[in-house]
Amino acid sequence: MKSFYSLLHWFVVFVAISILIEPTLAQEQKKHRSEAGGKGYFMVGFGKLDLGSLNSRLKAKNYPEFKENYVSLGGGGHAVIGKLIIGGDGEGHITTETTYGNQNNSLEVGYGFFDIGYILLSSKNLQIYPLIGIGGGGIELQIVEKGASEFDDILDNPKRMSKISTGGLLMQFCLGADYLLSFNGNEGSIGGLVFGVRIGYKFTPIKSNWSMENLEISNGPELGITGPFIRIMFGGGGLGREK
């Protein structure tokens, strides 16, 4: 819960700063009728994934629980058309592992979104916007028997690994801010490095059943890719403006 309240704290700070600088940005907006361009970026994310239902099932079988806090890596990009933002992003969590007896257990999480947003405030270099994303993702639990094996040993006893997975439809809501550090701009266009941050929440409104390869697994825990996040972005892009 501490990580959730920490993210909530920074979200409130972010919104407060946006409100405070709104008058300045609003004056800058009046100088331009429209803008167009694009940005691409690499993302490092931090957040919390709700694994309560899975961990309770693991604990009941004396398996170690997975940590809910995570770090993720990903990338994305978007086009700017007037005040409209259209783009996409995807990321995967750095694999979480636990050990139980002679077994090595891991949890892999990945997802992608189609995003649409609206620029609320814009200056020469800074844009602030809400963003809604819809997409999909999956969670895979791997249980692997440790120890080196010869090829014939695997043929004699192939049941050394189990991979079960689930997924579903995902949605995300976030507030973002991008700063374009310009190197060779003019009154009509600017281009350079992009630095940004997004703070939000993602959840799984429609969940799929657990499966192993093409075999459906019944009585699995109700698990979705749900929780708060903050993403730090850096990359490049450019914008052209008309007065």
Amino acid occupying residue 116: I
Half-sphere exposure of 240 (CA within 13 A, CB side): 4
Report whether pLDDT(7) > 60.
Answer: no
Q: State the residue range of the domain holding 215.
A: 2-242
Q: How far is CA 175 from the centre of its chain?
A: 13
pLDDT value for 231: 96
Domain count within the chain? 1
Q: What is the DSSP letter of 63?
A: P
User: Would you place residue 9 in the very low, low, confident or very high pLDDT band (cuts 50, 70, 90)?
Assistant: low
Amino acid at the residue 225: I
DSSP 12: H
Residue 120 CA, chain-centre distance (Å), reads 22
Per-residue pLDDT tens digits for 144-172? 887 666 777 777 777 678 889 999 999 99
Residue/partner pairs of 185-192 with CB below 8 Å, 24 or more apart: 187/241, 187/243, 188/240, 188/241, 188/242, 189/37, 189/238, 189/239, 189/240, 189/241, 190/124, 190/125, 190/238, 190/239, 191/236, 191/237, 191/238, 191/239, 192/236, 192/237, 192/238
Per-residue pLDDT of 24-57, as tens digits, reads 544 544 554 457 888 999 999 999 999 999 999 9
- What pLDDT score does 3 carry? 46
pLDDT per residue over 114-129, tens digit each?
A: 999 999 988 778 899 9
What gap in Å lies between CA 77 and CA 38, rounded to an integer?
7
pLDDT of residue 241: 67
Greater confidence (182 vs 146) lies with 182
